[in-house]
Structure 1
Amino acid sequence: MTESRFARLRSIQSHAYEAAPAIRAQFDAAGLRPAQLGDAGDLARLPVFKKDAMIEQQRLAPPYGGFLAAPSAEIERIFVSPGPINEPQFRGEVDGLGFGAAFAAAGIDSSDVVLNTWSYHLVPAGLLLDEGLRSTGAAVIPAGTGGSEMQAKLIRDLGVTCICAATAYFVTLAETLEQAGHELPRDWRVKSALLGGEFGDWMGKRRRLEARYGLRTFSVYATADFGLIGFERDAQEGYEIHPDRIVQICDPVSGSPLPIGEPGEIVVTTLRPGWPLIRFGTGDVAMARALHDDGSVAHISMLQGRVGQSVKAREIFIYPRQLEDLAIAVPGIQRAQASISREGHRDCVTLRLALQDGIDPGSVTEPAQQKFRELSRLKADRVEITSSAELTAEAPLVRDLRQ
């Protein structure tokens, strides 16, 4: 797989170097040529290209910012995602840019009737899921967003077996049916649900929904820029990377690839000839869990947060998800926050905890410190117990107090 993927990458990028000025500029800035891409180490010589830069590129060189590497006659759809960013879809792309693989891995097939509640308006989500579902043989109800009462009725009337929805909207649909007098799971045929991800104890929430509603949940990691990037397989937590995506987990500042288990920005290179984005920083944070022989990432964790939400202390980034996970993992903690200050020439980390009523601070201090170190690889310098009135739900999970 290593040789064939990077052989494909060299071919795609060699064409893009001639056809797409923005791609050529990335290579020229690094003093690199497409023929030199032999593995992930070579790829890392290219700078990470950020989404904000794409928005600016398209403003300066509309409509595609110099990234289009195919004749405009090959474009079948043009999506417009927030930014705005214009994203082409080409004729002959029939599995929803990889979503077909995700649904097949989840066991969706021609026996399924699927309610797709993701938007079909301008953004790619609804249509790409639709194409991926139809590639498995499933029948699709193109519901789009809104109208929960009507969509709840469709679940019953049309014998829906799978629901694709944001987690909160899935709950709304289920509760709408229950309020109408239906007893779930007895009164529906739903056996699976593709749910949109949430931070915090999302896996725990999924398990509770599965137990309550008698179904199996699954999720994907996808962006408007690439379509599908990763998908769940065999109930393993995290995402297996699609073969047509080359993923690296990188330091958000330097762009250098990070080792397994260290959180960093998800940087994606695609094997898609017409829209050949290379070393594109998604802004999402995860950890690598396994690597291919070529050094690229084979499997990533669930998302940890966004790059802009992180704070660097003692050369290690602290992410909001780590504080959410800490509060979930240590009994008695209501909320947690990490505050970073400077004492002399050293970064100091204070772990601030708001406790549940009646909890002895002495019972949580050491477990909280241990869990924080496990999650972040940093040792907290001190632990401060505070009130929930001071450490409110709206307070930032990570604060940088350095001047």
Structure 2
Amino acid sequence: MTGPFSERHWHEAETWPRERLAAYQLTRLKAQLSYVYAASDFYRTRWDALGFHPGDVRELADLRRLPLVGKADYVADLAAHPPWGSAVAAPVADRRRVHFSSGTTSNPTPVLWTAHDLDRWADLYARAAYSQGVRDTDVYQCLFSYAWFVGGLGATAGYQRIGVTLLPAGSGDTQRQIDTIFRYGTTAVGGTPSFMLHLAETAERAGTPLRDSPVRRIQVGGEPGAGVPATRAHIEQRWGAKCFDGYGSLEFQPIAWECEEQAGGHLAEDFAYAEVLDPYTHEPVPDGAPGLLVLTHLDKRASPLVRWATGDVVVRDSTACPCGRTLARLPGGVVGRADDMLVVRGVNLFPSAVEQVVRATPGACGEYLIVLDDDVTDPATGYLTGIKLRVEVTGDGQRVARELAHAVRAELTVRAVVETVPEGTLPRSTHKSKRVVRADRKVP
């Protein structure tokens, strides 16, 4: 266990000079690759076939000799070596926890933790919360799901490490959540942006707006939220609290989080070595350019991953933050999922960019769907000619539709067909919202 290191920083690694951080990463990478080679049949078999040995690594760039590994590789290995796969590196006696993917695109996939991994995980979550101003005098209500989902227990362990009074509430019982916030003086909450907005809407309809509650800090994750300026503003206005973006995945918990400066999530670079690569050539891109985030564990024991292609497109900034942290940041959070990117007449478009425009348009309530159907598809080629937006509005729907279509054309350079529906029409989510709906799916 660590922290707090200073009044603003939980761990000393947050303020290391970049040269010291790189030296630490290289030392840890060499040790980690040796561990993985000895303990993981999955990686040892692959590396032997390549003629690669961990001792070959002399500098961080040498890691690029290894191929990327993605979800498809992991799923195939699980099918060949059920139920845990051959990538697991910890003996059964050392395994303490397992969490699973949602299983929306394949069978649920397991990721394991040892006691060391769990301790590291909790400390990283504590570091994130501490950087946002959470202290042991806070009352934290965890609104992430606890059923199978990885976020709830991770946040619980981290905030407990700081010493808060913790309410493990989960993501159901909307009215009870609101009542609990007011009755017990909750000062900090965490959950998905969708659930934060759902709670705010429900509270306003009941005449108890959450901006009148004691909550002053909100950490969101699981989907684009605080990284989208208009969505962050929407949440902050309805809650009367600062909203911080958090980013993680099942395989890497957590990856990055915003500090009180709200200037982009700080990468946990002493936990994972991060590469930002061109999605097609897999060559490094410079800071400021969007690229695929690829991560390598530096000390994970149970389910270590080497050059894991997250599927997320990010932009990295390695300059120091005004908070004093030297860890690289991800301005704007996750730009989008590489496999969610839409190509509209040659324009690469991520749903998060559409969300920014929708939430910034007066009269649009913020809830929307991107509908891909015949109205925006070339019948000869099947390529998209535009996007259709189904948007909740208040007031003059025709005016909002015109203004939104104009804004999409002006800011995203694509055509938009806009359908407006009354507020409360579209489905809400208490977990992760699905924003893109294809024509072969049933829509409201």
Please report the TM-score for the alignment, with normalisation by the length of structure 1: 0.77
* Correspondence 1:318 to 2:345: no
Offset at residue 178 of structure 1 (A): 3.7
Match of 1:119 in 2: 145
Q: How does 1:221-236 map to 2 (within 5 A)?
A: 221-236=247-262
Classify 1:260/1:61 alpha carbon distance in 2 versus 1 (closer, same or farther; 3 Å): same
Match of 1:305 in 2: 336
CA offsets 1:353-401 (integer angstroms, 9 cap, x no match): 9996667x9x989x93xx55xxxxxxx8xx7x67546xxx9688xxxxx
Alpha-carbon distance in 1 for matches of 2:401, 2:160: 51
Classify 1:219/1:263 alpha carbon distance in 2 versus 1 (closer, same or farther; 3 Å): same
Alpha-carbon distance in 2 for matches of 1:125, 1:19: 27
My pick for the range that moved more, 263-272 or 34-43, is 34-43
Offset at residue 191 of structure 1 (A): 1.1
* Correspondence 1:88 to 2:112: yes
Classify 1:114/1:191 alpha carbon distance in 2 versus 1 (closer, same or farther; 3 Å): same
Alpha-carbon distance in 2 for matches of 1:29, 1:280: 19
Offset at residue 29 of structure 1 (A): 4.5
Amino acid at match of 1:205: T
Offset at residue 102 of structure 1 (A): 0.7
Match of 2:66 in 1: 46
CA offsets 1:52-107 (integer angstroms, 9 cap, x no match): 21112112112332222222211111212224111112114325352121111111
Q: Secondary structure at the match of 2:310?
A: strand
Q: Secondary structure at the match of 2:62?
A: helix
Alpha-carbon distance in 1 for matches of 2:56, 2:180: 54
Alpha-carbon distance in 1 for matches of 2:216, 2:76: 44
Alpha-carbon distance in 1 for matches of 2:160, 2:166: 7
Alpha-carbon distance in 2 for matches of 1:321, 1:166: 16
Amino acid at match of 2:111: E
Could you tell me which runs of 5 or more consecutive residues in structure 2 were left unpaired when the two chains were aligned: 1-20, 321-326, 365-369, 390-398, 420-434, 439-444
Partners of 1:116 and 1:143 within 8 A in 2 = yes
Classify 1:358/1:209 alpha carbon distance in 2 versus 1 (closer, same or farther; 3 Å): closer
Amino acid at match of 1:267: V
Match of 1:279 in 2: 307
My pick for the range that moved more, 107-116 or 350-359, is 350-359
Alpha-carbon distance in 1 for matches of 2:356, 2:99: 39
Alpha-carbon distance in 1 for matches of 2:254, 2:349: 24
Classify 1:311/1:386 alpha carbon distance in 2 versus 1 (closer, same or farther; 3 Å): closer
Partners of 2:226 and 2:245 within 8 A in 1 = no
Partners of 2:111 and 2:251 within 8 A in 1 = yes
Match of 2:282 in 1: 255
Match of 2:422 in 1: none
Offset at residue 139 of structure 1 (A): 1.9
Amino acid at match of 2:336: G
Amino acid at match of 2:24: S
Offset at residue 311 of structure 1 (A): 6.2
- Work out which of the residue numbers 24, 28, 33 in structure 2 matches 1:13: 33
Alpha-carbon distance in 2 for matches of 1:324, 1:151: 30
Q: How does 1:354-369 map to 2 (within 5 A)?
A: 368=410
Please report the TM-score for the alignment, with normalisation by the length of structure 2: 0.71
- Work out which of the residue numbers 53, 65, 75 in structure 1 matches 2:95: 75
- Work out which of the residue numbers 217, 236, 256 in structure 1 matches 2:243: 217
Higher strand share: 1
Amino acid at match of 2:119: V
Alpha-carbon distance in 2 for matches of 1:171, 1:388: 22
My pick for the range that moved more, 349-358 or 281-290, is 349-358
* Correspondence 1:190 to 2:218: no
Could you tell me which runs of 5 or more consecutive residues in structure 1 were left unpaired when the two chains were aligned: 342-347, 373-379, 397-403
Q: Secondary structure at the match of 2:158?
A: helix
Q: Secondary structure at the match of 1:129?
A: helix
Amino acid at match of 1:82: S
